[in-house]
Structure 1
Amino acid sequence: MGRYLIRRVIISMITLVCISMVVFFILAAAPGDPLSGFGSNPNVPAELRQRLREQMGIDDPVPVRYARWATQYVQGNWGISYTTRSDARDYVLGRLPITLKVVGGAYLISLLIALPVGIISAVKQYSLFDQVATTFAFLGFSLPTFFTGILFILIFSVKLHWFPFIYDDTVKGFWPNLKQMIMPMMVLALASTGSLTRFVRASMLEVVGQDYVRTARAKGLRERSVLILHAARNALIPVVTIIAIEAPAVVGGAVVTEQIFRIPGIGSALVQGVNEGDVPVVMAISFGYAILVVIFNIIADILYATLDPRIKFS
């Protein structure tokens, strides 16, 4: 296992370097720079504009700027945000808690729905319950989050007046905060529940027909014991790895959801950074997301090999 982890870490580091280079070079090729609006001001002397560009290293070659950014990032210095003029690390980490609350709550709801529904759908294959669950599952992962977000706002905010559709970070109290996070969490949960439900169902169908399940029934065990202790226990092994792999995807879905509901999280910070050419913020968030994907992929591999003795690290 030790050799496997070392090999995976090395491969992951190479992957992260390649991802950071691609993202950085794409941002460098984008039109404009952080001083484009400031530099067009006729009241600013040309000497001052040039001195600022030299201090910020804007005119340096792209490889030089990338090497400088990578060195500072490893040292914990993520740079200064061009828009807020504050430390990019403090800015991003300050927005992280609200995103984790929304994403974590959404993924928890998704798991609580997908696991039992997927298992029951497999046990009652082609029944009315299975057909209804399959229909909602396809709707869940087919509809884009921006559409479901707007639909939820029209139904639950405009028509029914149940939940606020704009997040207010000044609200105090547990219930008022939970109330304004329900719709964003449901939008994200709907998107991930569909795919997870289908995967649980498919994994369960592969198991219920196995010999050891029929043997358990032949021994006279109760059907619930057969399904939970024998079928579901083995069927959920690949599901655990999918849960780990899908977690970063839910974080990625928060980018659109936070824009719809005006949530001041890292998703909205990323969109704002892209629109305003805030390279330090965009690099911090996008590279952090890449690290998250790599880490969860390693966790998924370890979990799969640990839970399934047939899989060897070698």
Structure 2
Amino acid sequence: MIKYIAKRLIDLIPVLIIISIVLFALNEAMPGNPVDLLMPTSIQNETQRQELRKVLEERYNLTGPIHERYAGWVGRMFSGELGESTKYQRPVNQVLGTPLRNTLILNLGSTIIAFVLSVIIGIKSAVRRGSFYDKFWQVFSLAGISLPTFFSGMMLIYFLAIKKSWFPPGMMPINNDIGTWIKHLILPTITLTIGSLASTSRYVRNAMLNALNQDYIRTARAKGLSETKVIYSHAFRNALIPVVTVVTWNIMSLLSGAAITETLFAYNGIGKYFIESILARDYNVIMALNMMYALITVFGNLVMDIGYSLVDPRVRLE
């Protein structure tokens, strides 16, 4: 397995280079200039404005040929320096530190909750196929998959925050009070969990139904094994293989898809900063977040393949 992982990591190098070039080119093609948003209206003299523009463009590495700027950006990235944010006037590392932590907590929490509930619901629905329990969760999964994330979030805000006043509707505080922070975390976590639960529970159910109809399950039952052992030791283990794919993609998509949820709830996460940076043409923040999403995607595929071999020893990594 170590040789396989090393080979895959080497293969990822040209992929990441191509992705970085494409992202940098797209970043350059964006309309507008962040310097235009920074120019003070109080300076009317054209000479002074041109001098200030030149200073700002040099400060934020916006001058020179595109290939030189790309090479400089790559060099700074490898040294751990992601540049300075034009919107927040601080190094990108400092801007994204706390939001990245908040997003990881939000997404990992919702993913774990959704996975645990999906396994319980999916297995029970498959075992009790055609029952009211199964039909209820089938309707829920269809609704959860069909409804946009922002609609689910708005409904939660309206009923639980505005009508009942159980939770704050948004504007996450900047203080470190754990109680207040948890209250602001609940609604966005529920919003993300609904979508993940709807899709993952459906996959678990279908995978379990497929596994329960296999010959080895009939053989296990003919041997006199208990139904619990048949379901959890034989059927569920094989049903986990396609579920690994779904869970991995859910984790990868949540980090990018959480932008809508974080903006809706004014949650202090990287999704909210990503949207604000696009509106402000904050190129350094945009590039840092885009590369982070690219890294998550390519390494997520590697983790997915490794997960296959851990779930099913019959799968060999070559």
In the superposition, the TM-score normalised over structure 2's length comes to 0.92
Measured after TM superposition, the shift of residue 306 of structure 1 is 3.2
- 1:164–1:179 contact (8 Å) kept in structure 2: yes
Write the deviation string for residues 273-306 of structure 1: whole angstroms up to 9, x where unpaired: 1100111111111111111121121011012123
- 1:78–1:88 contact (8 Å) kept in structure 2: yes
Aligned to 1:233: 237
Q: How many aligned residue pairs are there?
A: 314
- 2:63–2:69 contact (8 Å) kept in structure 1: no
Unaligned runs of at least 5 residues, structure 1: none
Is 1:307 aligned to residue 311 of structure 2? yes
Measured after TM superposition, the shift of residue 246 of structure 1 is 2.1
Equivalent AA in structure 1 for residue 87 of structure 2: T
Aligned to 1:32: 32
Q: Distance in 1 between matches of 2:37 and 2:224?
A: 77
Is 1:110 aligned to residue 128 of structure 2? no
Q: Distance in 2 between matches of 1:37 and 1:215?
A: 71
Aligned to 1:48: 52
**Which stretch has the larger CA shift, 50-59 or 15-24?**
50-59
Q: Distance in 2 between matches of 1:174 and 1:38?
A: 36
Equivalent AA in structure 2 for residue 301 of structure 1: D
For the residue of structure 2 that corresponds to 1:35, the secondary structure is helix
Q: Distance in 1 between matches of 2:175 and 2:33?
A: 36
Measured after TM superposition, the shift of residue 79 of structure 1 is 0.4
Aligned to 2:23: 23
**Structural RMSD (CA):** 1.9
- 1:184–1:257 contact (8 Å) kept in structure 2: yes
In the superposition, the TM-score normalised over structure 1's length comes to 0.93
| Percent of residue pairs bearing the same amino acid type | 35
Q: Distance in 2 between matches of 1:38 and 1:125?
A: 61
Measured after TM superposition, the shift of residue 151 of structure 1 is 1.0
Is 1:249 aligned to residue 263 of structure 2? no
Unaligned runs of at least 5 residues, structure 2: none
Is 1:137 aligned to residue 137 of structure 2? no
Q: Distance in 1 between matches of 2:56 and 2:236?
A: 63
Structure 2 residue corresponding to 1:75, chosen from 79, 82, 87:
79
Structure 1 residue corresponding to 2:214, chosen from 210, 214, 218:
210
- 2:108–2:251 contact (8 Å) kept in structure 1: no
Measured after TM superposition, the shift of residue 255 of structure 1 is 0.5
For the residue of structure 1 that corresponds to 2:228, the secondary structure is helix
Residues 140-219 of structure 1 aligned to structure 2 (within 5 Å): 140-170=144-174, 173-219=177-223
Compared CA separation, residues 181 and 214, structure 1 to 2 (3 A): same
Equivalent AA in structure 1 for residue 53 of structure 2: R
Q: Distance in 1 between matches of 2:98 and 2:39?
A: 30
Equivalent AA in structure 2 for residue 177 of structure 1: W
Write the deviation string for residues 127-185 of structure 1: whole angstroms up to 9, x where unpaired: 22221111111111211111111111111111111111114324554443222211100
Equivalent AA in structure 2 for residue 10 of structure 1: I
Aligned to 1:14: 14
- 1:149–1:184 contact (8 Å) kept in structure 2: yes
Measured after TM superposition, the shift of residue 54 of structure 1 is 4.0
